[in-house]
Amino acid sequence: MGIFRDTSLLINYSLIAVLFGNNSRAYFRNLLIHIFHPDGGKVVQPKDDKKEKRKRSLWEQWDAFYRFCRMYTVTGMVIGVSSVSVLPLTSVGDLSPAFFVGLLQALIPFVFVNLYVVGLDQLVDFGMDKLNKPDSPLATGEYSMRQGKAVVSAFAFTCLGMGIMFQSPPLFIGVLVYFLLGTAYSIQLPLLRWKENPFLDALCIVGGHGFTIQPAVFYHIQHVLGKPLAFTKSVAFATIFFSFFSVGIALFKDIPVFEGDRTSGNRTFCVRHGKKKVFSLCVSILLIAYGFAVVIGASSSFLVCKIVSVIGHSTLAYILFIQAKSLNLNDDVATESFYMFLWKLFSAEYVLIHFMH
């Protein structure tokens, strides 16, 4: 059947040439090329394909930006700031327009300073990320170094500018401290690049997620509502617990990229002491943090708070223990998944801190 069809087309081509003249031959010759050889000529794309390409391009740009910003850290920041903002409230009447304005004032600069920190870390660690995180936009070439620097600079100016503009001393100090710790953590300058020192590495993460966000946001909301500054049991617990938990995260974060760090000569705490020892220390610290939470929760004078805090923290500790027991440290995918699991536990605590009274 194919031979008859092809022969028929050739006959038709000859007839067309006779009837319409030689000028038509080039057109119909190209037509037959596309019929017999689909790859032999330039194909005119339908208009719908242009729209699809544009949509695909926008989606790819968003996907690259999403991965560059490491949105799981942004989610954790939004949950944390929102949760801590509620701690100073003592009555329904405190849920005023001033509170919601204050909440936005805290959210925006802290989200941008978080984006600055994770972006700066990727710029400085570009070489190692080719081994440790080959899907990052800088490693894949989706972002050039120039684009990355422009985005990170925009984040930096935005967070500091808003911290000044909102005229809240606790908020500005918190954003500034987080900014400075994040810079000292990554940037390659004399006496800096603290991530290469295990103690200073942990100090940066504890200082940012433990000693900075909780007091800064808490006092900012008190400042916005015109309340006298007071350090309550709930914010004191949150500061201590998240500081402990941050140490655990700081220890574990280098396990998924162990091989890349060892290959590139990056002498992290994990490379020096081995995965098993670091992992055991990490889990022990996290379980101690949950034990501390159970004790504090059990001392509450409110029955509901006592029940929820004790059962809640005991359940999370048990889940952590089971997950840790079954983890294969030689599986990079599994360790990366466990690292994300720790951040989920970190975020879950922002619910339980409201029962620590």
Position 60 confidence tier, pLDDT thresholds 50, 70, 90:
confident
The length of the chain is 357
Phi, psi of 324 (to 5 degrees): -65, -35
Average pLDDT over residues 133-159: 87
Tokens standing for residue 261: 């760090």
Q: How far apart are the first and last CA of the chain?
A: 85
Poorest-pLDDT segment among 112-116, 125-129, 134-138, 291-295: 125-129
- Do the beta carbons of residue 106 and residue 171 sit within 8 Å? yes
Q: Which amino acid is at 39?
A: D
The HSE-up count of residue 120 (CA atoms within 13 Å, CB side) is: 22
Interior angle at CA 135, CA 320 and CA 159, nearest 5: 80
131-143 as b/e, with b when 16 or more CB fall inside 10 Å? bbbeebbbbeebb
- Residue 82 structure tokens: 């929102």
pLDDT value at position 2? 47
Q: How far is CA 43 from the centre of its chain?
A: 42
Q: Residue range 24-32: average pLDDT? A: 48
Neighbours of 66 (CB within 10 A): 12
Quick one: what percent of the chain has pLDDT higher than 90?
A: 46
Cα dihedral 127, 133, 135, 137 sign? negative
Query: What is the arithmetic mean of pLDDT over 30-56?
Result: 54
Residue 44 has pLDDT above 90, yes or no: no
Residue 291: CB atoms within 10 Å: 13
How is residue 210 written in tokens? 């433990």
pLDDT of 301 higher than 70:
yes
* Cα separation, 126 vs 136, whole angstroms: 9
